[in-house]
Structure 1
Amino acid sequence: MSENSIREELIESIRTIPDYPSKGILFRDITTLLKDAKAFRRAVDALVQPYAGSKIDQIAGIEARGFILGGAVAHQLSAGFVPVRKKGKLPAATVEQEYELEYGSDVIEMHRDAIQSGEKVILVDDLIATGGTADAAVHLLRNVGADIVAACFIIDLPDLGGRAKLEKLDVPVRTLVEFPGH
């Protein structure tokens, strides 16, 4: 199957919900992709493909959809999986990274012993929009010495600039489909 036909299949499997979470937003919902076994498999295979045969130590998945995708990617690459969570959700000693939101700030964290310095890591989430959370995750991972091989997402919303933000940090970004706007 060609890359264009896979892209079209993935786009068709993603539901768009207008005016969610607020008026004027087109929410790109991947739960419809996840429930479609064929589309889910194609998405995971496409995320994994450039790294097959590479030595990847850990996949870091951002809460919550990044857990689903990251777990599948980790399995395919025979890598470990590290959850990057909102503050207060992990039971052992953690490291954290604060980041700015439109109104205020938030904190993500991971277990202090989740990644060893020098390990090759791929960051995974469902969507890159403004890039705030992914940017914070990159800083968090680098603070513990991770070698970030790439950041992978199913969806890119390029108008919001998240991809460019990560690329300025010298993180290669892989996305499977793009949608205009936000």
Structure 2
Amino acid sequence: MKQELTPQEAYTRLTTYCARSEHSPEDIRRKLHTWGIPMEEAPAIIKRLERKGFLSPERFARAFVRDKYRFNGWGMILIRAELKRHRIPSDLIDQAIDELTEEAGDEAEERLHALLASKLRSLPKSLERRKVWERLLRFGAYRGFPYEEVQTVIQELLGSSYDEDEP
């Protein structure tokens, strides 16, 4: 039989958990729920972790934005949606994304260009241009990049003579 954790035991485990990597308060709520800790106890445990410096939504947002952009190749739309899913306040999301945008500069378009060029190489050569356009557009949108940016990069890759409305 599985033994229930006390709130103090949960707090102790969470200090180790939070010391290893950044987590959102929502991650901690879920973890507490899986451990069988009453939800009334969660806010106090989360506040205590924040006071002691083990948990910080600001730090989590910055780390999440940086990691998902650099290592997963995500665009800002997808990153923003995932941070909202973690229940990070909009002002912290905006701040973290703005920091990365300033830091990255033109790198975002280069990254998108490399991502779409790689996808283009993986597509069958026999595929008609319209299908190529659609697949690249869908791929860029799925990765969280704005439609206009994806469209611009696709035009560069496929040649400016190609119009998306052509068959």
Q: TM-score, normalised by structure 2?
A: 0.26
Q: Which has the higher helix share?
A: 2
**CA radius of gyration, larger in:** 2
Q: Which has the higher strand share?
A: 1
Q: TM-score, normalised by structure 1?
A: 0.25
